[in-house]
Chains A and B, each alone.
Chain A
């Protein structure tokens, strides 16, 4: 009998090109996503060394990080220039490098443009059982479809462009088993924030996490993408969820997905991928789904989570002295006091978007809360940034854009937006933002910005009340 293997081991083993004595292996990369921020120096390196891109057909380029989310074309259909010269230079570099190296490029005003991690699955570029990389840590998201996907640095981007491989050492495997089902009104975002709260931001260090349990089987692909996306905040190299009928139904007919007989062969192969019974994980954590409530962050680390009906913890409540110190600094930065009820915390900004929560299901969940309501007066800035042009078009066909704009939200063009302060969308210093993104680091949404991470429905609820709110109060 062959050894029982995990999903991770199966994907790894199928991609070993060469095994070195020191335990590292040369791993073949099936899919490479490229964006404007981490690629210019990689292309510069190729040019200097006179190298080509080995497999342009396995590479897909799209701008997202720097791109403003305001209109991209004027009334005559001409490109609106980008004000920040540094952003403009990076965007132009990608626009020139992609065709120069024969790579497919989705331009800023193409309806297929969007955040790399939204368009990969949406185009059918992401497939189960493949290895996938991108110069961005949230590449972990694609693990939702059963792809081994992880972020890399610029030198590695150059290495993959030149050789279609990476020299890697095998990670350990970790199982996060969630028992039971989520209570009504609890979203995948609440679950992943809860998980990170339990295991901590170092909980997955050195591991690839496989999420297992009925809750994931019942979850949509959009929800799984939200979960796997934040594996990186749990310290892991990558996240994985076994492909199943939901995955195949999601991918079937996508533009870059296999067709006809190829499709059938692909599905037959994908069915062999799930972790075998009896396979052993290096580490295993069990989470009880019933314990998950609507969750928000209070501090400046994604592990600083608390149920929205709870209170800001006291730094002394942490056992680890360095964590106590970090908590003190966080509270100071966040302008919060221990013991304060989260529900009393007022917010001035709302951001619904990012590769964690900008897909159609996310927008539907937020719109369901906002329908027939308006944002509170103390909310100065509320924006919705769809993850891609296709998500935007779908939402518009369902009339969601109207619900958002009627509620006082701005309806934007796709991109990373206020997830990180690289483009014009920033949260002003000292102000708070209810955000559906993935990082609440100091200065992440702009210098001095105070981020509270939460689900799209919760961000919508915060918009309506002007403070952190249990969305179930509005939907009951």
Chain B
């Protein structure tokens, strides 16, 4: 996983509440075999509308998405995080996220940053014309206009994200403990090994 210290750039002031994972990426994209390429299907139903914000040239290349309450609710599909990543989004800022979505975002190195609604309102306003900056070191979101909003994050997740530690690497560092568990069960419960049918 790539370490994430700073995300800087234009943000899409989307602002919608209760965006479910089906809106982020519809079910028909679940039949894929790669994490890549899903950006093409992201927010498909919204992009079908004339003049939608995602296709507004003003926000081309944006790396941040600003949304309303309860972002990523609905079905647990991890494709939602992959699709956002594939469309170039490195961070989503919203008043709240569904638990499953924030877990999936974390696993894929996508920042899910929760800020109070008034901060969101201000960022939405700035995003229309100017870039914003997320700094993971100081855990703050800033604008070119001296706004500074501090966010919180689970310390473990924070450390993984800034150091680019992937969960599998972290677990693999426990290889000795895993091996020990396997040796114990091999001797105490040899029947646990499935009979090769």
Contact = CB atoms under 8 A, between A and B. Distances in A.
28 contacts: A15-B181, A41-B32, A41-B35, A54-B178, A57-B194, A66-B31, A89-B31, A89-B33, A90-B33, A104-B197, A124-B195, A125-B194, A127-B192, A130-B192, A137-B76, A155-B107, A155-B167, A159-B168, A162-B172, A163-B168, A164-B178, A164-B182, A165-B171, A165-B174, A255-B197, A265-B191, A266-B189, A422-B30
A37 B194 contact: no
A440 to B, nearest CB: 15
**What are the 7 A-B residue pairs with the smallest beta carbon separation, nearest first?**
A258-B191, A40-B33, A255-B197, A86-B31, A262-B191, A155-B107, A266-B191
Contacts of A265: 189-191
B171 A167 contact: yes
Interface in A241-258: 255-258
A127 B192 CA distance: 8
A51 B175 CA distance: 14
Nearest to A264: B191
A158 interface: yes
B178 A258 contact: no
A371 interface: no
A470 B76 CA distance: 36
Of the listed residues B156, B174, B181, B190, the one surrounded by the most CB atoms of chain A closer than 10 A to its CB is B181
A163 B194 contact: no
B47 to A, nearest CB: 20
A155 B190 contact: no
Chain A interface bracket (under 10, 10 to 19, 20 to 34, 35 or more): 35 or more
Interface string B152-170: 0000100000000011100
B34 interface: yes
A277 interface: no
B104 interface: yes
Contact of A26 (B31, B34, B177): B177
A263 B191 contact: yes
Contacts of B78: 41, 153-155
A98 B44 CA distance: 33
B189 A40 contact: no
A262 B103 CA distance: 40
A165 B166 CA distance: 15
Contacts of B108: 155
B91 to A, nearest CB: 18
Interface in A428-449: none
A256 B35 contact: no
A51 B169 CA distance: 11
A83 interface: no
Interface string B99-114: 0100110011000000
A326 to B, nearest CB: 13
Chain B interface bracket (under 10, 10 to 19, 20 to 34, 35 or more): 35 or more
Of the listed residues A44, A84, A137, A155, the one surrounded by the most CB atoms of chain B closer than 10 A to its CB is A155
A40 to B, nearest CB: 4
Given A41-B82, A155-B104, A256-B197, A26 B168 contact: no
A89 B31 CA distance: 8
Given A17-B178, A86-B31, 12 more contacts: A22-B156, A40-B32, A86-B32, A125-B194, A153-B107, A165-B174, A165-B178, A256-B195, A257-B195, A258-B195, A265-B189, A265-B191
Nearest to B171: A163
Interface of A: 15, 17-18, 22, 26, 28, 30-31, 37, 40-41, 44-45, 49, 51, 54, 57-58, 60, 66, 84, 86-87, 89-90, 93, 104, 123-125, 127, 130, 137, 153-155, 158-159, 162-165, 167, 255-259, 262-263, 265-266, 269, 422
A422 B30 CA distance: 9
B174 A18 contact: yes
Given A159-B168, A159-B171, A165-B178, A87 B31 contact: yes
Given A154-B78, A159-B171, A167-B171, A93 B33 contact: yes
Nearest to B169: A49
B48 interface: no
A37 B35 CA distance: 13
A213 B144 CA distance: 64
Nearest to A155: B107
A44 B33 contact: yes
B98 to A, nearest CB: 13
A49 B104 CA distance: 19
Contacts of A18: 174, 177
A163 B174 CA distance: 9
Contacts of B185: 28
A66 B32 CA distance: 12
A49 B35 CA distance: 14
A51 B168 contact: yes
Contacts of A164: 178, 182
A54 B32 CA distance: 25
Contacts of B192: 30, 127, 130
A337 B190 CA distance: 59
A165 B28 CA distance: 31
A26 B170 CA distance: 11
